[in-house]
Structure 1
Amino acid sequence: MTNRTPEEMSHAMLIAVLMHHGGSITLPASAIDADATGTSDGVFHAIELQRLDDGGTIRLSVVPRPSGQDSGIEWRPPHS
Structure 2
Amino acid sequence: MANITLYELPGCPYCAKVVDKLNELGLEYDSIEVPRAHGERTEVENVSGQTGVPVIVDEEHGVDGMAESDDIVAYLGETYGA
Report the TM-score, using the length of structure 1 for normalisation.
0.30
Higher helix share: 2
Higher strand share: 2
Report the TM-score, using the length of structure 2 for normalisation.
0.30
Highest CA radius of gyration, 1 or 2? 1
